[in-house]
Amino acid sequence: MLSLFFVLAAGAIGCGSSGAGTSTSSASSEARTSPSAVAGRTSTATSAPEDPAATVSFARDASTICKKVDVELTKTVAANITPHELARVAPEHAAIEQRAADQLAKLQPPASVASWWRKVTSYRHTLAVELSELAEAAKRGDSNRIKTLSASKLRTHKKLSEAAARAKVLDCGKPVAVGQR
C-alpha cells in the first residue's frame, strides 16, 4: 500500500501525459460549434487561407516554450519520491507550469487551432493548481488527497496531450516520465 502511494505521488509531479488521446469529434466541428471558439475568432468562415509562415512561427514558438518547460521539470523529478520530497518539488513544478501557461497564452494561434490552443493553456493552468494542492496535501501527510490529486492530474495530462495534438503542437503534450533525467 505504501509503495502504491509513492508511485502515485511520483507520477503526480510529472508533466505532459501518458499519450495523445483520441476523440470522436473532429477539431473542425468543435471549432464551428463551440461558443468560446466562435467568440475567439477574428475571421469569418469564408476567410482566406491562413498564413503558412505565421502558422509555422506559432508552432515553433510554442514548441520552444514547451521544450524548455520539460527540461525544467525533468531536473527535479525522482523515481522514488517521499512525501517530504513531494512537498518540496510540487511547488517548484506548479510555478513552472504557471509560467508556461502564461507564456503560451500570449501566443497567437492560427484560427483553425485557436479553440484547442485555449484548452492547452487552460490545462497547463489546471496542472499548476493541482500541483500547488498536491504540495499542501504532502505537507499535511494527507495520502488520500494525494491519491485523488494524482488521479486528477493523470486525467488533466491526458486532456492536455489530446489538445496539444489537435492544436498541432505535439511538444506541448509530451509526457515527462518520472525518473527521466
What would the 3-class secondary structure string for the chain be? CHHHHHHHHHHHCCECCCCCCCCCCCHHHHHHHCHHHHHHCCCCCCCCCCCHHHHHHHHHHHHHHHHHHHHHHHCCCCCCCCHHHHHHHHHHHHHHHHHHHHHHHCCCCCHHHHHHHHHHHHHHHHHHHHHHHHHHHHHHCCHHHHHHHHHHHHHHHHHHHHHHHHCCCHHHCCCECCCCC
Q: How confident is the model at residue 130 (pLDDT cuts 50, 70, 90)?
A: very high
* Model pLDDT, residue 50: 80
* Model pLDDT, residue 49: 63
Say yes or no: domain 2-12+53-172 is CATH 1.20.120.
yes
Q: How confident is the model at residue 13 (pLDDT cuts 50, 70, 90)?
A: low
Range with top average pLDDT, 8-12, 30-34, 123-127: 123-127
4: pLDDT strictly greater than 70: no
Q: How confident is the model at residue 76 (pLDDT cuts 50, 70, 90)?
A: confident
pLDDT, mean of residues 92-121: 95
Handedness of CA 13, 126, 73, 27 (dihedral sign): positive
| pTM exceeding 0.75 | no
* Model pLDDT, residue 161: 94
Q: How confident is the model at residue 176 (pLDDT cuts 50, 70, 90)?
A: low
* Model pLDDT, residue 79: 63
